[in-house]
Structure 1
Amino acid sequence: MRLKDKVAIVTGGASGIGKAISAAYVREGAQVFVVDIDEQKGQAAASEIATNGKAISIRADVTSSASMEAMAREVDRKSGRIDILVNNVGVRIVKPFLEHSDADWNAMIQANLTGPFLCSRAVAPFMIRAGKGRIINTASIASFVGRPNRVAYVAAKTGLLGMTRAMAIDLGPMGITCNALAPGSINSPMNAAQAGDAEHDWGKETPMGRWGTPEDIANAAVFLALDESSYITGAELKVDGGWVSTKARAGELAEVR
């Protein structure tokens, strides 16, 4: 129980990576607030993972400043503290560059970049009051490389790394660390729906030769929440099976294996 008595907020915690992080934190003894815009899914997830600890669902909209501020106050009122914030909400639009509308662009920036800013700004005062805290932003391998038909998503996720670094230097003197996780080809509902059949199995493109799992990301999120990681801030941890750091020509990985 490495997070015993800690209080954590996980946005987008009702499914996929967010749900896996929420479950991992509960297993480690934390009280977890599963924040999601889908109230029904949030309640179902909280009920499912509330085994060795407490899990509470809160419906909130990360793109609304008022909603984030109300959420942070509610968590503090119920628990008296906020130790960990995971900004995990992620939305992706896939379409050619010239087909991206103003609405598409704004939606990607709002959910993937403005949302983490609004949530962090709402939660940080409670961490400052305690003299410490952990903020973890879920970025992407798209934060490091261009990806086809994802111009707004790539822009938002790249911006999230810059925001993480700026937050680290602004909040570090208050005892708050700010880091980013960069998932790769993770077998989450969002990725699986776009990967298609085995011919386009994204997992085969990694040196590890497999899809990552939401639990792979959750394990990294636990590490960044621990007291032992207190000297790590402004960092980006890739959890991608080596995808960003390596490149093989067609057929070369098969030859290695």
Structure 2
Amino acid sequence: MSERQRFQNKVIIVTGAAQGIGRGVALQAAAEGAQVVLADLSAYVEDVLAEILAAGGDAVSIRADLETFAGAQSVAAKALASYGRIDALINNVGGAIWMKPFQEFSEQEIIKEVNRSLFPALWCCRAVLPEMIKNQKGTIVNVSSIATRGINRVPYSASKGGVNSLTAALAFEHAKDGIRVNAVATGGTEAPPRKVPRNASPLSEHEQAWMQQVVDQTIDRTFLGRYGTIQEQVNAILFLASDESSYMTGTVVPVGGGDQG
């Protein structure tokens, strides 16, 4: 357990908790005293649950398709059934599936990108709002991206622009209910290879070149000249989820080494 206990007696939903930034957020929140609801479509979420429980933390897991209204509703229901309330939601599901010029995207690929990187945040915000409104308090942190100004991922960029607008509008609409809504616009982040790849197909020569353009652009636009770490993203996300940011709402905080997106 961490010496810091910012989330003692707080119930926090973390989506996309099976790997990457979501896993890091869930482990750190649990270490700081949170009761964590781990939500992911992948069975690997059970490994994160086991890790938290082994460390003496308090968590439950649920496998759900958060690209659907019903999946998001099931996560909120799991939190209420397990802990009786929802104090915070961290919307972490998303990520570009393909990286290539916009004219190379098919109709179905565009739909899949938007379904992955916009709708989970919309559905999960909608799922937790009734409980937060009833309690007249709550915190939502949406994971966005500095890639709203990025090359070779226009559908993803548009989706994250939607997440930024969702953050601002929802914060404005529900400040009267004691609900704060902020976002972290993550920059390029070093992470272990994904256990469940977003795109399982081998990359063609063209696709490898387009991917390299994204990497080069990310580093070129970053003052610090490097990718960030998972922990650096976790630190910002949990700051916004904590009472330390109690006078912040409707804000998108870029965590991209100087790249403002």
> Aligned-pair RMSD on alpha carbons?
2.1
The answer as to whether partners of 2:186 and 2:233 remain within 8 angstroms in 1 is yes
Residue 65 of structure 1: how far off its partner (Å)? 0.7
Match of residue 17, structure 1, among 11, 14, 21: 21
Structure 2 counterpart of 1:164, which letter? T
Structure 1: unaligned runs, 5 residues or longer = 246-257
Asked if 1:215 is matched to 2:231, the reply is: yes
The answer as to whether partners of 1:29 and 1:52 remain within 8 angstroms in 2 is no
Asked if 1:242 is matched to 2:247, the reply is: no
The one-character-per-residue Cα deviations of 1:101-139 (angstroms, maximum 9, x if unpaired) are: 111111111121121111110111111122110000000
- Higher mean alpha-carbon deviation, 50-59 vs 40-49, is at 50-59
1:82/1:103 CA distance change after superposition, 3 Å: same
Q: Distance in 2 between matches of 1:139 and 1:231?
A: 20
Q: Distance in 2 between matches of 1:211 and 1:190?
A: 15
Q: Distance in 1 between matches of 2:161 and 2:221?
A: 22
Residue 89 of structure 1: how far off its partner (Å)? 0.3
The answer as to whether partners of 1:8 and 1:30 remain within 8 angstroms in 2 is yes
Q: Distance in 2 between matches of 1:190 and 1:86?
A: 22
Residues 146-165 of structure 1: pairs in structure 2 closer than 5 A: 147-165=150-168
The answer as to whether partners of 2:168 and 2:250 remain within 8 angstroms in 1 is yes
Residue 21 of structure 1: how far off its partner (Å)? 0.7
Residue 30 of structure 1: how far off its partner (Å)? 0.2
Secondary structure in 1 matching 2:25? helix
Q: Distance in 2 between matches of 1:201 and 1:45?
A: 33
Asked if 1:89 is matched to 2:105, the reply is: no
Residue 201 of structure 1: how far off its partner (Å)? 9.7
Residues 1-257 of structure 1: pairs in structure 2 closer than 5 A: 1-38=5-42, 40-50=43-53, 51-92=55-96, 93-143=98-148, 145=149, 147-189=150-192, 203=219, 206-244=222-260
Q: Distance in 1 between matches of 2:105 and 2:87?
A: 38
| Residue of structure 2 equivalent to 1:248 | none
Structure 1 counterpart of 2:6, which letter? R
1:190/1:205 CA distance change after superposition, 3 Å: farther
Q: Distance in 2 between matches of 1:111 and 1:223?
A: 25
Q: Distance in 2 between matches of 1:204 and 1:22?
A: 31
The one-character-per-residue Cα deviations of 1:67-109 (angstroms, maximum 9, x if unpaired) are: 2112211210110010010110013121221111111111111
1:49/1:208 CA distance change after superposition, 3 Å: farther
Secondary structure in 2 matching 1:58? strand
Structure 2: unaligned runs, 5 residues or longer = 198-207
Residue 207 of structure 1: how far off its partner (Å)? 2.3
TM-score with structure 1 length normalisation?
0.86
Q: Distance in 2 between matches of 1:169 and 1:133?
A: 14
